[in-house]
Structure 1
Amino acid sequence: MFTTTGSRGLDKAPLSKGLLLVLSGLTVVLNLLPQYNHLFTYSLQAITLQHQVWRLVCGRLICLDLKDTFCNSLLIYNFRILERRFGSRKFASFLFGTWVLTALVDFLLSEAFHYLFDYQVSELPAGLLGPVFSLFVPFYSSIPKVPVTQLLGQISITNKSLVYIVGLQLLTSSPFMWLVALSGLVSGKLYHGNALGVQRLLFVPRWLSRVGAFVLEPLFSGPPPPNEPPLGMGATLDIQRQQRMDLHDQQVLLAQFHQARRNHRPPQNGLMNWNRFFPSLRHRGQNLPPEPQPHPSPQQLHPTAPPLLEPTAPPLLEPTAPPLVNTPVAEEQVARLMEMGFSRIDVQDALRASNNDINVATNFLLQHLG
């Protein structure tokens, strides 16, 4: 019933894959060596009273609870779509900036809680939880939701529902996880909105990004996922029908592409005109030009004898691509898709191809330009 965002696998997301493997592996090691767990606790009291500033680093990287590690890893896996949209350097800058901001916001929220309720928060859940919660801000604003099904006929299930459910599960795992989540959301809003120019102050330098790409990509890069995933044996009838419809649409688009290559010259400067290759999917078979009727011969006008009728087999119809049409695009939808990082030309061509259906255009852009 639930689907994840983006294509399968961790292709073009080396940072997300590295975080999943390294942080999960360190959590397993600490659970096998519990005598070292006290070095990685996120103790606010030890930081303020005993001046153990190093806990701001050790206590905010590795989760000590396996359940928190599982939910945190599942969120990082789904947020890999942000790394594909923004790029690894911008994605790393967002994590680094929010990691620094959450350290400050954690203390401010704990002091506000102590002032309002007269209760001192001495320890918070350990791990890379604040920056992961901050990723909900660009995920909510940048990734469009695509309806999947209806629950009880009223509740709409989208491709983003699973991510929000996992976030709620992580939110209820410990008593003060809500404080970490609130700190992450506030920090994510500040960094995503570039409040006080924090993006110019907290970012990953270009040279460090190149070093990371040189080190991480050979270690964590993998083969790209297949273009067309196979139909699941255990899928429901509705899901199988939807998958077959998607496969049929992709075959039609490929047929249009080959037809356009046969009928048109390749564009100059390496630019592809999608408007010629991928027309509207909603008006297939419409606005077809009338077929020319042949002029009858004198023998056909005045037949002398009726022709003998012989049983013939019906002609074989070869699949052809629908006619190429132009459709005006909506500027509001163009702006929404451009916020995801796509160029205006690609967005306009994708919207024309889908007849201004933003869900179809989004899926097409994610599959072919992701």
Structure 2
Amino acid sequence: MFTSTGSRGLYKAPLSKGLLLVPGVLACLLTLGFPQYQELFSYNLQAVRHDFQLWRLVCGRLVCLDLRDTFCSSLLIYNFRVFERRYGSRKFASFLLGTWLLSALMEVLLAEVLHRLFQLRADALPSGPLAAVFALFVPFFHSIPRVQVTQILGQLSITNKSLVYIVGLQLLTSSPFMWIVALGGLGAGELYLGDVLGVQRFLRVPGFVARACSRTLEPLLSGSEPNREAALGMGATLDIQRQQRMDLLDQQILLSQFAHMRRGRQQQVGLINWDRFFPNLRHRGQNLGRPQQPTPPPPPPPQPTPAASTPVSEEQVARLMEMGFSRLDALEALRASNNDINMATNFLLQH
């Protein structure tokens, strides 16, 4: 299920790779090797309010001090890498930066409201970039298609997004005050994605920073393109290997149909029968002394393939266009996949 929104690996996702490596390594070092430095990365709101230690709003939201939170957030970041491929690294980094800053303000406000209305003190919140991880659930909910995988007991529907929500629920229940971080992240995600008060213009990564990181960090974190032939043997069991081969076969069939439809459209639109306007001059003199033969009728136009004649739902086209794809590519992908929006989305993301 974690690979249903894109191809495997971290290809074209250097920022996601950095978010998996750097905070994970730091969390292991602080938990196992240097526990005496954990206090520097604790998210202590009481120290922020009373001692004005504003630096804790930064350091306390960088590294998870609980390995369970590190594991769950890493799984979610790996799944959400599809948004970096779709938006680009700079836009994806701007979304994380904007939601990270907005959620800090919302967390402080929620803790203060909780204290004044219900006399409940939230002196310390879970550490780490958890608010930005919860914020990524907003585009995941709005833009990733929901496709049913199976049913349990004939009533409970399991979709390609169920496992992601289960991991998010596990992360939500790992700490008593995690719900404050989750609400701050979800609210920040809605504000940034909806561009409320034009926050996307102000909270974004500057161009010179993006260029500098592209020249220095991207070569170190860039991943190689996955080898599809070598990926066939990655399954641990025969069922997994068989499923991988079926997925690869579906992708090859879809790619073949897509290329065939594009060639057919180019032949019908781009090619002109110039012989209809200018007959062959080389044989014109040879045909002067001979009786003219009746001109054979022109060949019938090529019949459209069954995939091309399949009606396409405008609602599905609109959903693919909302993801950033052009209308022409969305139409061709839906026709080639027989209006299967999940296959069309995977095809457009990978090819």
Q: TM-score range by the shorter chain?
A: 0.7 to 0.9
Q: What is the Cα deviation at residue 242 of structure 1? A: 5.3
Mind listing any 5+ residue stretches in structure 2 that lack a counterpart?
271-304
Q: Does 1:211 align with 2:194?
A: no
Secondary structure, aligned partner of 2:232 = coil
Give the SS at the match of 1:6.
coil
User: 1:65 corresponds to which letter in structure 2?
Assistant: D
Q: Which residue of 1 aligns with 2:344?
A: 361
Distance 1:25 1:86 in 2: 27
Instruction: Provide the secondary structure at the position in 1 that maps to 2:217.
Output: helix
- The residue number in structure 2 matching 1:145 is 146
The C-alpha deviation readout for 1:346-367, integer Å capped at 9, x for no partner, is 1111112223232221222122
Deviations for 1:113-151, whole angstroms, at most 9, x for unmatched residues?
112211221111110011111110011101112222222
Q: What CA deviation, in whole Å up to 9, does each residue of 1:55-106 have, x standing for no partner?
A: 1110010111111111111111111011111111111000000111011101
What is the CA-CA distance between 1:3 and the residue it aligns to?
5.2
Task: Give, as a single letter, the amino acid of the residue that structure 2 aligns with 1:341.
Answer: G
Per the alignment, do residues 199 and 53 of structure 1 end up closer, same or farther by CA in structure 2, a change over 3 Å counting? same
Most deviating of 145-154 and 117-126: 145-154
C-alpha displacement at 1:154, in angstroms?
Answer: 2.2
Q: Are positions 1:20 and 2:20 aligned together?
A: yes
- Report the CA distance shift for 1:268/1:55 in structure 2 as closer, same or farther (over 3 A): farther
- Please tell me whether residue 331 in structure 1 is matched to residue 334 in structure 2: no
How far residue 330 of structure 1 moved from its aligned partner, in angstroms, is 2.4
After superposition, the Cα gap between the structure-2 partners of 1:341 and 1:260, relative to the gap in structure 1 and judged at 3 Å, is closer
Given the superposition, is the C-alpha separation of residues 28 and 233 from structure 1 closer, same or farther in structure 2, using an over 3 Å criterion? closer
Counterpart position of 1:162:
163
Q: Residue 296 of structure 1 corresponds to which residue in structure 2?
A: none
- CA distance in 1 between counterparts of 2:90 and 2:69 reads 26
TM-score of the pair, normalised by structure 1: 0.78
Q: How does 1:1-370 map onto structure 2 within 5 Å?
A: 4-31=4-31, 32-227=33-228, 229-230=231-232, 232-234=235-237, 236=239, 243-253=244-254, 256=257, 325-368=308-351
- Decide which structure has greater helix share: 2
CA deviations on 1:255-282 (whole Å, 9 max, x unpaired) are 557877998978999xxxxxxxxxxxxx
Moved more, 200-209 or 353-362: 353-362
CA shift for structure 1 position 323: 6.0
What is the Cα deviation at residue 21 of structure 1? 0.5
Pick closer, same or farther for the CA change 1:66–1:179 going to 2, 3 Å.
Answer: same
Q: Say if 1:157 and 1:117 are closer, same or farther in 2 by CA, change over 3 A.
A: same
What are the Cα deviations for residues 22-49 of structure 1, in whole angstroms up to 9, with x where unaligned?
A: 1011111212111111111111110111
Find the aligned partners of 1:86 and 1:172 in 2 and give their Cα distance: 30
The answer for the alignment partner of 1:290 in structure 2 is none
Q: State the secondary structure of the residue aligned to 1:68.
A: helix
Whole-angstrom distance in 1 between the partners of 2:322 and 2:83: 12
C-alpha displacement at 1:160, in angstroms?
1.5
The 1:254/1:95 distance shift into structure 2, 3 A limit, reads closer
Q: Which runs of 5+ in 1 are unaligned?
A: 270-321
CA contact (8 A) 2:307 2:338 kept: no
Q: Tell whether the 8 Å contact from 1:2 to 1:161 is kept in structure 2 after alignment.
A: no
Cα distance, 1:249 vs structure 2: 3.3
AA partner of residue 333 (structure 2): A
Q: Could you tell me which amino acid in structure 2 is paired with residue 161 of structure 1? A: S
Which amino acid in the other structure matches residue 8 of structure 2? R
Residue deviations 1:202-234 (CA, integer Å, cap 9, x gap): 111122111111122111112111336426352
SS for the counterpart of 2:350 is helix
Partner SS, residue 9 of structure 2 = coil
**Following TM superposition, by how much is the alpha carbon of 1:156 offset from its aligned partner in structure 2, in angstroms?**
2.0
Q: Give the number of equivalent residue pairs.
A: 315
CA distance in 1 between partners of 2:264 and 2:94 (Å): 46
* Seq. identity, %: 66
Partners in 2 of 1:11 and 1:156 — Cα distance? 31
2:258–2:336 contact (8 Å) kept in structure 1: no
Q: Is the 8 A contact 1:30 1:64 kept in 2?
A: yes
Q: CA deviation at 1:334?
A: 1.2
Q: CA RMSD in A?
A: 2.7
Q: Distance in 2 between matches of 1:5 and 1:230?
A: 19
TM-score (normalizing by structure 2): 0.82
